[in-house]
Structure 1
Amino acid sequence: MDYKQAVNSVLHWNYRGFTEFPLQHLQGEETEITDIYLKENLISRIPSDIGKLNNLESLYLSGNDITKLPREISKLSRLKCLDLSGNRLQFIPDEIGEMRSLKFLILDENELRELPLRISELRMLRYLSVCDNKLQWLPQRPVYNYHHCEFRFWRNRSLSTIPYSLWYHMFRGQQTRSLNIGCFGNSICNDSKYNDTLLLQLRQINNESNRREIHFPRKFEHILDRNIITTPSLVELCKRKFYQMLDSASKRLTTSPTISVYSDVNYDENLENNNNINNLQEHFEEFNLKNGLCSKKDINEEYYEKCKGDTKVDKLFIKAKMKGYCVPSDIVEEHFYYLPKFLKDDLCNGPISRCENVDCKKPLFDFVYFEFCLEKIILIENTEDVLINAEFCSKSCAEKWKTGKALLTWEFTFTK
């Protein structure tokens, strides 16, 4: 086959028996490609130089043998649709959050145990499907906007519970499109890799025989025992405070209109100075963080064109202007690159969840207090009870939240 003659803006290479991603066959025509169809081939890996396809908008790789994604896939900045269903993916890199144009992400029929936290940075996402995987835990916020994105996670047999916030915003009183969710099983995972993992044993009120076993996210290093009073570590408290400042600063740098009235991001027209970055500057005076940060009224095309070649102007401001918003990872990468990797990863990826107390909403990294209750998901033909987990920064916040809710009793246990 003459591949040079096959080069066009759309490549239909389904069912060709490719064992490698055919990037080498494009021979300098990479920038011309907008859509690639490589369904039902024998591809086992995506090359790290996939970023050469910088105008690619759609990539269909379902029915291959891919086990992992390269971090460089985030360089496909114009990609709108990514279909990786029917592969053997075991994890998704955190850098997926940098694919700002992504609207459709299909990950069905893989071997995923968890979703990356930064997946919620995909503000344009309208469809996320992770059905038929091995998910054991869902993020509190798997999508940026609950009301504009369809999220499907059906038939993950190892999934025993879903976060209260996710249920409240996406499934409370709303009929789902699934006839059978196929999750929330009672069986314990027998994977040897998860031996000696801390589990939670639940008992429904007035029914001690009804028990469920739940695997916690491994990133939770300390789960508060309801019978023992403990406090977060100093590291945890520092990460919470620092992330709150980063989050607040990133929202002040966000200038584009919000996606909907339900969005987290707001901008106060009356506040001209970025006081959040200034607050960070006070804590790190020896590092020059100000570097020309401007108020919203200064943000215009004329100023932007003037600043593009000026190295004295904060690069963070330029990046925020170009994409219309800023996230904590942008600030960390630009100004706090010197931090230890483990700390940078936590701050860039964000907290596992936030306190469910609406008056608190503190970020939670490795210290959490749990409560559990039963709620309902409305299906097309019936209603199904689901186990809901609510996460808090402290027992006192849990006490304020649980008023009027029928909670389950629980206790710690271990696998043998």
Structure 2
Amino acid sequence: MSLATSTTLMLPGPEGIRYPHTLNQPGAWTKPERPISSRNVYAAAHVIPLMSAENTPGAPADLDWTATLGYRHELWSWGLGVADAMDTAQRGMGLDWASTKALIAKSSAEAASVVRNAPAALQGKTVRDLISCGVGTDQLDPATLEPGEAGLAAVKAAYLEQLEVVEAAGAKTIIMCSRALARVARNAGDYLTLYSHLLEQSTEPVILHWLGTMFDPALEGYWGSSDVSVATGTFLELIRTHAHKVDGVKVSLLDAGHEKQLRAALPTGVRLYTGDDFNYPELIRGDGQRHSDALLGIFAAIYPAASTALQAIDAGDTARGYEILASTQELGRHIFSAPTFYYKTGIAFLAWLNGHQSGFQMAGGLHSGRSLPHLAKTFALADTAGLLHDPDEAARRMGTLLLAGGIK
């Protein structure tokens, strides 16, 4: 193939100018021999469709369950928990509620099987440690709802239906932001009333998820205000009132300063699970007094490095852990670059490069969400970070993608 030698691939740049990239060796990552303990972490996993399915926009999700569940076992084997049925799994962007319900049940059952036969790296972990699942309202079409009591009642019923599904599966609950609620809520009081009811109905402490508009523009004005400081006040009021029902909060606003301020304001015992895929190294490292735990989509892409870094932190070498995480930061910022909601494409792309799915496809046609130059840079940055498990095979796959894209 003219595109590559055994060590070099010619990649397309954003201006149409090709450049050579010489491949590196994989990083010296190590699987844990004991449970990771210094940080609570979940990697938000993606879903893998059947390659022969009708993976086009609007088509029902048709998943390859063997590959999808196999990817979760891969994450568990590195000592990480899995956050499932989240935005990384294409909630609201290709994964319908029927498929989501099946995903929650199947992933939770697999987590239970891992707990029953736990390897040394997971000894003592519970199902809730291994699997957390999103509760939302995507049974509803927000466009059909009007602000007011009827709309709020529909949103509450949808949330409660999903809460029952997740709790029945045995997973930890993550209460996700709702496009439908953003449409029907009239003020901060509507958010407080509805979320308070959900927390009262939950049987175990939950994770509250605050997703920013860079991930989903339909969430503008969440918590009753487009002013982040005002919205934060409402968020904290909810948490302080129901602290015994809040395991932690996942904040995905890509603002490290805001996260540190929120982290310091949380009640004792409530965790801050960073969802900041730009600034995670410093937030997980912490400031010597406080640190963030993690619930991150980028961890599904960098999990060998993430696990090795957390093992170093466990061993007391926080500087080494930070160094490892920082070595992946440029990749994370690229994958999550604007338009950020297409970050899922990069996660699936790396899974394909590393042999975890047989083709580069996504439910709902989302594999078309990034350009060839963007994917080429993802490839190069992943290789530089030591995250291509078999660089030669990854280069072969990248070469076939370039050829299919008309780059000869």
Tell me the TM-score range normalised by the shorter chain.
under 0.3
Q: Which has the larger radius of gyration?
A: 1
Task: Give the structure with the higher percent strand.
Answer: 1
Q: Normalising by the residue count of structure 1, what TM-score does the alignment of the two structures yield?
A: 0.24
Higher normalized helix content (fraction of residues): 2
